[in-house]
Amino acid sequence: MTYLPKPKLAHPELQKNDLGFTRRDYEGSISTLCAGCGHDSISAAIIRACYELSLPPHRIAKLSGIGCSSKTPTYFLGNSHGFNSVHGRMPSVLTGANLANRELIYLGVSGDGDSASIGFGQFSHSIRRGVNMTYIVENNGVYGLTKGQFSATADRGAKNKRGVENMDEAIDMVGIAIQLGATYVARSFSGDKNQLVPLIKGALQHQGAAFIDTISPCVMFNNHDGSTKSYDYVREHNEAVNFMDVVTGRNEITVDYEPGTTEIVRQHNGGLLKLRKLANDYDVTDRVAAMNFLETRKARGEIVTGLLYVDPDADDLHGFLETSDKPFNSMSDEELIPGSAALEKLNASLR
């Protein structure tokens, strides 16, 4: 099989963003995933989000582990930094990179195998440390690269392609992320970019650990009747709690919205999230209520999507550790290696 590159020719009216880039400038190589893979739609959503936020591609670092999902950073942001790490180890590489250079925008891309099985511990700890990142899990509920065995996020009772039922309880990545202290938590669906793109934009602007669980149907092994992660099933059971818009500086909100229907959340860095409520009683900043709501709705068989929890005043690992404002690469040798006297002084302070 040969994969032709996507033609460079673009629509003659293609718009440019504030940096003078078109959306096409945020693309990567042609995808070699199966045709129709939900992951490709998520790649397209990431491209749109970065383009719309006018992020400089060279200020973004995309990191991933192993799996179908972890292949995708090749397919977007071709001019950004990338690190394809060991299976399940993306979170620690990301954490290290983030500590060394806090000025980059960190985008972790992982899958349900990479984050809910082999890398479950890494996922948990990067979240509870509050690493400033956007952590996207492309969740299809199966191991696509090894022909479709159930993954740890497959729902109990879901059937595989051969009709065999899954007997294990599913790990709910969103529930875990909220519990472990993620300060921006969302769930979305690869088949609904209108919802997904703003959620990614909000996460990229969030100061702290942002986590997005994106249900992404595996067309090859998990898109049949009996699957709970197929295009049809997700569309049928999707219950969005809100619809979000990210408002950037240029078009700040000036209109007053009818109370109770629209909620404005101002994030720490000044970015505004405009939330149109779909579930009336849902308070997006109430962590405990969010957990209750998720459990209640899950019991009813609903897939709750939207922005589920946000702490607008969140801080991140650098804030907790009171690290230097400067990235290592801009420090002089003297700053990086202060010498034995400084070490002595430090040791003395701890005695």
List residues near another protein by CB under 8 A. Answer: 1-4, 6-14, 24, 31, 34-38, 40-41, 43-44, 190-191, 193, 217, 219, 223, 231-232, 235
Closer Cβ to another protein, 23 or 102, answer by number: 23
Q: How far is the CB of 170 from another protein (least distance, A)?
A: 23
Residue 143, both tokens: 């191991």
Q: What's the CA angle centered on 43, arms 308 and 47, to 5 degrees?
A: 90
Report the relative pairing of strands 272-277 and 262-266 from DSSP bridges.
antiparallel
Alpha carbons within 13 A on the beta-carbon side of 182: 30
Task: Give the nearest distance from C-beta 231 to another protein in angstroms.
Answer: 5
Please, which residue, 237 or 318, has the CB nearer to another protein? 237
Pair of tokens at residue 235: 């569309």
Buried b (16+ CB within 10 A) or exposed e, 126-149: bbebbbbbbbbbbbbbbbbeeebe
* Smallest distance, another protein to C-beta of residue 45, A: 9
User: Based on CB atoms, which residue is closest to another protein, 38 or 88?
Assistant: 38
Instruction: Using the minimum distance from each CB to another protein, give the nearer residue, 41 or 85.
Output: 41
Least distance (Å) between residue 43 CB and another protein:
7
- Residue from 109, 90, 86, 117 nearest 190 by CA: 109
* CB of residue 34 to another protein, shortest distance in Å: 7
Q: How far is CA 35 from the centre of its chain?
A: 22
Q: Are strands 142-143 and 238-240 parallel, antiparallel or unpaired?
A: unpaired
Residue 182 CB: number of other CB atoms within 10 A?
30
- The amino acid present at 226, given as its one-letter code, is G
Q: Which residue's CB is nearer to another protein, number 44 or number 118? A: 44
Residue with Cβ nearer another protein (123 or 189): 189
178: helix, coil or strand?
Answer: helix
Q: Rank residues 102 and 187 by Cβ distance to another protein and give the closer one.
A: 187
Q: Is 39 or 81 the residue whose CB approaches another protein more closely?
A: 39
**Residue 231 neighbours by CB distance under 10 Å:** 17
Supply the minimum distance, in Å, between the C-beta of residue 30 and another protein: 8
Query: Shortest gap between Cβ of 13 and another protein (angstroms)?
Result: 6
173: left (phi over 0), alpha (psi -120 to 50) or beta: alpha
Name the amino acid, one letter, at 301.
G
Tokens of 67: 């799996």
> Tokens in use for 14?
């293609």
Rounded Cα distance between 70 and 75, Å, is 10
Structure tokens at 330: 């801009």
Tokens of 31: 């995808």
Amino acid making up residue 291: M
Q: Minimum Å distance from CB 245 to another protein? A: 17
Nearer to another protein, 10 or 264 (CB): 10
Closest CB 239 distance from another protein, rounded Å: 16
Contacts for 56 with CB less than 8 Å, ≥ 6 apart: 19
